[in-house]
Amino acid sequence: MPATPSHPNGAPTARQLAESLLAFWADGGVDAMLLDEAVDRIEAGKAPPPVRPSPAVAAKAPPRAIDGLPDVSAAVSQAQQLAAAAHDLPALVAAIAAFEGCPLRYEGAASQAVVYRGDPAAPLMVIGEGPGADEDAQGQPFVGRAGKLLDKMLGAAGLEGRVLITNTVFWRPPGNRTPTLAEQAICAPFLERIIALVQPRMLLLVGGASAKSLLRREEGILSLRGRWLEWRSADGSQDLPALPTLHPAFLLRQPGAKKSAWSDLLTLTERLDRPDRPL
Ligand code: URA
């Protein structure tokens, strides 16, 4: 950046002060400016770019009514069509990467869609909230500090190599805010397709944003965690036992809560190795 002229009396100019403050924040890792409330750009009509489902899809798939959400039916219909046409995980990853219907793609993601990592035939699917900065940069979910803790806990519970890890949304929400229900609804057909292709025996729902969206529940994660609940796909054709647990990012801030998360993992491994135990 070219040097900015100083104030004639030698005091820093307003611009120099602003630049110095921005540099201070950037050094501290602040990479986004957020308002207190997320701006609903779908509602505001600013993003995403218009999604035009093919006439065949518009005729076949009735728009999914989602109470209280802005009208995301065109984006959801297009996601349903693309997801249904993907017959394996590589095709699904390519379809998600090309999908322009989720506003997060334009708002938060600096580089790429982040879909999954792990074993495509895993008996357990771990579903987090959404990618952060490290995931956005590397193209894989849970590869930052929280991901390292997650891997350590899964490893200690004997689950290493037995999981596929993904998220409720596939692009980083700006400033790591919680994804909105509308963003989760747009990504849901892809997430359901991942579940259909992998056919895990059970789901581990990591954090409140994941548990509430997949289980369509209002309660917070502290009341949902550790309880076996049923996940059901939007069309009712798939269902699986699902166990909500605490998010590793929360555990990094509240190490005292690790005990509860560990107890959830033990509950899960016991059931995974004894699959016919009823809910
Ligand atoms: N937190 C999540 O919920 N998912 C990630 O992929 C990374 C951090």
In the chain, the amino acid numbered 114 is V
Q: What is the pLDDT of residue 67?
A: 53
Q: What is the pLDDT of residue 122?
A: 98
Q: Which positions ≥6 away from 95 have C-beta within 8 Å? A: 82, 83, 85, 86, 190
Evaluate whether the domain defined by 70-273 bears CATH number 3.40.470.10: yes
Beta carbon of 141 within 6 Å of any ligand 1 atom: yes
pTM: 0.79
Strands, DSSP E only, in the chain? Answer: 117-118, 124-128, 163-167, 202-206, 229-232, 239-245
Helix (H, G, I), strand (E, B) or coil at 114: coil
CA of 248 to the centre of ligand 1 (A): 9
Q: What is the pLDDT of residue 46?
A: 52
Q: What is the pLDDT of residue 244?
A: 98
Give the integer Cα–Cα distance in Å for 153 and 111.
29
114 Cα nearest atom in ligand 1 = 6
Beta carbon of 131 within 6 Å of any ligand 1 atom: yes
**pLDDT one-digit tens code per residue, 190-220:** 999 999 999 999 999 999 999 999 999 999 9
Q: What end-to-end distance do the CA atoms of the chain give, in Å?
A: 61
Q: What is the pLDDT of residue 50?
A: 45
Question: Do strands 202-206 and 124-128 pair parallel, antiparallel, or not at all (unpaired)?
Answer: parallel
146 Cα nearest atom in ligand 1 = 8
Q: What is the mean pLDDT of each run of 10 residues along the chain (279 residues)?
A: 61 78 64 60 54 40 51 95 98 97 90 96 98 96 98 97 98 95 97 98 98 97 98 96 98 98 97 74
Beta carbon of 167 within 6 Å of any ligand 1 atom: yes
Q: Which of 135, 166, 253 to mutate to test the pocket of ligand 1 (most atoms within 8 A of CB)?
A: 135
